[in-house]
């Protein structure tokens, strides 16, 4: 089956150009995907019956937000695969160690679309630099974590500056049979690398926070090259598990390493959806042209206006391998528009991760590894 509108949308390089043409293209792409999922998935048909909303009811742009959502928890117990197993190019999961795992299935075309749109998001927001840099990746070692969503995302973020060296910090320990982290060794490596070239710190902010805290104990004055850059991703906590805002983290990095706060960026996302919501220099996570977000009142299921907190519903047409074009998450967010940075469209003003106990994601599992590392240090 041809998905010409979906392919054209995901190949559009200006990720935040909300022109009328791109708006129309998004509508066509979503309609294309909705019709396909309705034909392939009995569960989608069931949801359409329950909501009395079908592909034929898609008449204009606003109708897109009536597409019945698949609850994120359902994707942790059912794969809803539209293709044969041999046609699945990549499987990504949402959990690092324990907990229920979502499996994001991607065939070749869907994976290529995701890679294109993600690259356009980061490029459009100025994440690229031609200066060679040392990479410290605070994520699961890629060679041992092929199916972990955050590990794949971290790897994608290694192409925005030439690599002078590459170091994964959460490594697989064969003796323990689990991932392990040595904060002191990473802190020493960081201090060594910053004397040579810019550094790029990728991954979980809690690990970055602890590494800098340890580095400050080894050296009181730290000054990184101002071209250094951070692309964080995962739960916003410090190394002690205390909630930490993007702004607090950026201020911490600037005060302790001299890194300009506008170079501290972040990408929000979830494996069930795939589209990255990358932050600008203001710390706001922008919605690209490849997706739309709505905030839902959990009691009435009605859409809420800008500035109001509710459950996040996510829309995107890129993945035809599974019916995740409309997903209702457990995350609580606030949406706003007209960011001071000047980009068009909506942005996420605040995010509160939901479902932490039952539906444990990569960042929660990683936090456990960091806690184990700290407990081990306290005993020694």
pLDDT digits (tens, 9 = 90+) for 155-171: 999 999 999 999 999 99
User: Model confidence over 257-302: pLDDT tens digits?
Assistant: 999 999 999 999 988 999 999 999 999 999 999 999 999 999 999 9
Q: What is the three-class DSSP state of 282?
A: coil
pLDDT grade, residue 202 (50/70/90)?
A: very high
Intrachain domains 4-83+286-352 and 120-269+359-379 with the same fold: yes
Q: Which residue has the higher pLDDT, 97 or 108?
A: 108
Architecture of domain 120-269+359-379: 3-Layer(aba) Sandwich (3.40)
User: Model confidence over 24-80: pLDDT tens digits?
Assistant: 999 999 999 999 999 999 999 999 999 999 999 999 999 999 999 999 989 888 999
pLDDT at 360: 46
- Mean pLDDT, rounded, for 96-108: 75
- Mean pLDDT, rounded, for 3-8: 98
Architecture of domain 4-83+286-352: 3-Layer(aba) Sandwich (3.40)
pLDDT at 366: 59
| In the chain, domain spans | 4-83+286-352, 120-269+359-379
pLDDT at 97: 44
The residues, ordered by sequence, that sit 6+ positions from 296 with a Cβ below 8 Å of its Cβ are 302, 303, 304, 310, 311, 312, 313, 328
pLDDT grade, residue 365 (50/70/90)?
A: low
The residues, ordered by sequence, that sit 6+ positions from 200 with a Cβ below 8 Å of its Cβ are 133, 134, 135, 136, 160, 161, 228, 229, 230, 231
In the chain, pLDDT over 90 holds for what percent of residues? 78
């Amino acid at each position: 089956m041809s998905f010409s509108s979906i392919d054209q949308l995901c190949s559009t390089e200006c990720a935040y150009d909300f022109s009328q043409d791109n708006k129309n293209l998004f509508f066509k792409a979503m309609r294309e995907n909705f019709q396909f999922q309705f034909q392939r998935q009995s569960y989608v048909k069931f949801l359409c019956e329950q909501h009395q909303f079908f592909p034929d009811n898609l008449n204009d742009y606003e109708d897109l937000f009536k597409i019945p959502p698949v609850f994120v928890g359902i994707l942790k117990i059912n794969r809803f695969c539209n293709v044969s197993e041999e046609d699945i190019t990549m499987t990504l999961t949402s959990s690092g160690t324990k907990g229920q795992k979502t499996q994001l299935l991607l065939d070749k075309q869907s994976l290529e679309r995701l890679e294109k749109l993600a690259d356009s998001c980061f490029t459009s927001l100025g994440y690229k630099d031609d200066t060679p840099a040392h990479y410290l990746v605070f994520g699961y070692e890629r060679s041992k974590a092929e199916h972990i969503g955050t590990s794949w995302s971290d790897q994608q973020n290694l192409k925005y500056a030439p690599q002078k060296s590459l170091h994964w910090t959460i490594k697989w320990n064969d003796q323990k049979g689990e991932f392990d982290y040595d904060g002191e060794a990473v802190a020493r490596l960081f201090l060594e690398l910053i004397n040579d070239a810019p550094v790029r710190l990728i991954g979980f902010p809690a690990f970055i926070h602890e590494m800098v805290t340890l580095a400050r104990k080894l050296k009181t004055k730290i000054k990184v090259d101002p071209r250094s850059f951070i692309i964080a991703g995962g739960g916003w906590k410090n190394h002690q598990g205390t909630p930490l805002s993007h702004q607090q983290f950026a201020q911490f990095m600037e005060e302790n390493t001299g890194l300009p706060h506008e170079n501290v960026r972040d990408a929000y996302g979830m494996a069930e959806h795939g589209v990255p919501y990358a932050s600008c220099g203001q710390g706001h996570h922008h919605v690209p042209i490849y997706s739309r977000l709505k905030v839902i009142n959990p009691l009435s299921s009605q859409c809420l206006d800008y500035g109001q907190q509710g459950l996040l519903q996510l829309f995107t047409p890129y993945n035809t391998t599974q019916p995740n074009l409309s997903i209702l998450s457990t995350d609580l967010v606030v949406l706003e528009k007209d960011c001071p940075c000047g980009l068009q469209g909506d942005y996420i003003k605040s995010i509160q991760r939901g479902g932490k106990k039952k539906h444990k994601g990569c960042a929660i599992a990683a936090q456990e590894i960091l806690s184990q590392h700290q407990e081990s240090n306290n005993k020694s």
